[in-house]
Amino acid sequence: MFGKSRSVAVALAATTALVLSACGGDDGGGGDADSDEPINIGIIADLTGATGDVGTPYNQGMLAYIDWRNGDGGIEGREIAAESNDYAYEVPQAESLYKQYVNDGVVAIQGWGTGDTEALSGSVAKDELPFMSGSFAEPLTDPEEAPYNFVVAPTYSDQMRVALNWINEDSGGSGEVAVFHNDSPFGLAPVQDGEDWVAEKGYDLGYAAYPMPGGSANYVGLLSQAQSQGAKYIVIQNVASPAALVAKDIAAQGLDMKIVCLNWCANELFIDSAGAEAAEGHILIQPFAPLTAEKPGHEPITEYLEAEGTDPETIGTSYVQGWYAMHAMAEGMEATLVEGNDLSGASIKEALETMGPIDTGEVIGGGSLEFSADSHRGTSSTGVYQAQDGKMVELEASATP
């Protein structure tokens, strides 16, 4: 017979494993072209999960845009009625929310992560619901594979290509690159495409990928492996906290290494968490211009924030991303109604594919997004920034692969 401690130990191990493993509706939301009913959309947000640090401001940015747009007369006189719920970065929870939104009769959905966006891709195609998200994974741009997914920024792969172009130039045409990535579909999304790009361009760059252990208190182990590789450049595909820890470790070790952050760690959170000194000089591949860049497209955001009594200086890039993701969707809806079409998922999709450029006031890369029936890649252009004196300083406004 087991004793008490042994039974308890076995129960503890089993419960630990449990905890670790846990770690088509009506058209009510769309309707006729001359309807004045609110336009229903669903938002699947990560507010409390692994990417909540950027998911929360992204969600706030979307809701702020909706509030601003409704206050400005809505879309052709119709208000946007958005339901936003937290899915804590858990794919099953996203699927459950998706079903709920379909039953609620939404006409479009804003999602978040790569894992859930890819998991829902087939469902949104079947249910004919346009889907934009915080995931910029390459497969989502192909209408053959994902007919109802629209990517509102350069893909992670395009960002990786821009990063590698920059590294190739900065290194004088020869060097070693270590890619530190979140060990998830999001983290892995650009890894192979980056390696392919090095081969395709004939760059003399070594390239190796390293998954980043979650919940780690340091990344010295990975950095020592990168050192053994001879890497002077660390491309990071992860959120800000772990990237900041890498920057701190590089500073503490006095290593001659430059971080090149992609999208979700290329933000103010990275600089604030690492500290201005540790962040100094690192490169940030950020498709959405931060408010400090003062682009024309920032004006409605700053006006809205000031009207709300919020200091724009407290607002980060992820908020801007959310605002303009929602803007792209709203513009598609407006184009549908302007054309005199009923507001349905299929008609919004068609409008997005045929309406031409969506102006973002120079906030996203080259300034505008454009989709077509052949490509749902909104843009391949991104800004390149450098951390200088605790700020994101623009090196290039519109870099393309």
Partner 1 sequence: MSNFIQQLIYGLADGSILALAALGFVLIYKATGVINFAQGEFLLVGAYMFYTAFVVFNLPLLLAVVFGVVVATVIGVLVERLILRPMVGENPISIIMVTIGLSMLLNALVQAFYGTSPKSQPALLPRSSIEVLGATVPLNRIFAVVIAAIVLTAFTIFFRKSRHGIAMRAVADDQQAAMTMGISVRRIFAMAWALAAISALIAGVLLGDISAVDQNVAAFGLLVFPVVILGGLDSVPGTIVGGLTVGLLTQFTAGYLDGGLATVIPYIALVLILLVRPYGIFGEIRIERV
Runs of H (alpha helix) within 128-206: 156-170, 185-188, 191-201
Q: Return the residue of 31, 39, 43, 56 that touches partner 1, per CB under 8 A.
A: 56
Q: Return the residue of 63, 222, 259, 343 that touches partner 1, per CB under 8 A.
A: 222
Please identify which residue in the block is written with the tokens 């300083």. 393
Cα–Cα nearest to 235, from 263, 275, 276, 216: 263
Residue 215 interacts with partner 1 (CB under 8 A): yes or no: yes
Residue 198 CB, nearest approach to partner 1 (Å) = 21
42 beta partners: 83, 109
Tell me the number of residues near partner 1 by CB under 8 A: 59
Beta strands in 168-254 (DSSP E): 174-182, 204-212, 233-237
Percentages (nearest 5) of helix, strand, coil residues in the chain = 45, 20, 35
Residue 8 interacts with partner 1 (CB under 8 A): yes or no: yes
Q: Return the residue of 47, 97, 205, 329 that touches partner 1, per CB under 8 A.
A: 47
CB 360 within 8 A of CB 299: no
Q: Return the residue of 6, 24, 92, 393 that touches partner 1, per CB under 8 A.
A: 6
Residue 95 CB, nearest approach to partner 1 (Å) = 21
**What one-character-per-residue DSSP string does 69-81 give?**
HHHTTTBTTB-EE
Residue 254 interacts with partner 1 (CB under 8 A): yes or no: yes
- CB within 8 A of 97, min separation 6: which ones? 42, 44, 85, 87
Residue 113 interacts with partner 1 (CB under 8 A): yes or no: no
Residue 237 CB, nearest approach to partner 1 (Å) = 13
**Closer residue to partner 1 (CB): 220 or 397:** 220
CB 237 within 8 A of CB 189: yes
- CB within 8 A of 71, min separation 6: which ones? none
Residue 230 interacts with partner 1 (CB under 8 A): yes or no: no
Residue 213 interacts with partner 1 (CB under 8 A): yes or no: yes
Q: Which of residues 10-39 bind partner 1 (CB under 8 A)?
A: 10-13, 15-17, 19-20, 23
Q: Return the residue of 93, 96, 241, 388 that touches partner 1, per CB under 8 A.
A: 241
Residue 275 CB, nearest approach to partner 1 (Å) = 7
Q: Which of residues 317-346 bind partner 1 (CB under 8 A)?
A: none
The end-to-end CA distance of the chain, in Å, is 66
Residue 237 interacts with partner 1 (CB under 8 A): yes or no: no
Q: Rounded to an integer, what distance in angstroms lies between the CA atom of residue 177 and that of residue 164?
A: 8
Q: Which of residues 181-200 bind partner 1 (CB under 8 A)?
A: 183
- The strands making up 80-86's β-sheet, listed across from edge to edge, are 80-86, 39-45, 108-110, 131-132, 149-150
Q: Return the residue of 45, 53, 195, 301 that touches partner 1, per CB under 8 A.
A: 53
Residue 284 interacts with partner 1 (CB under 8 A): yes or no: no
Which amino acid is it at 373?
A
Q: Rounded to an integer, what distance in angstroms lies between the CA atom of residue 182 and that of residue 375?
A: 27
Using CB under 8 A, which of the segments 4-12, 119-127, 140-148, 368-376 binds partner 1? Answer: 4-12
**Closer residue to partner 1 (CB): 52 or 345:** 52
Residue 48 interacts with partner 1 (CB under 8 A): yes or no: yes
**Residue ranges that bind partner 1, judged by CB under 8 A:** 1-13, 15-17, 19-20, 23, 47-48, 50, 52-53, 55-57, 180, 183, 210-222, 224-225, 227, 240-242, 244-245, 248, 251-254, 269, 272-273, 275
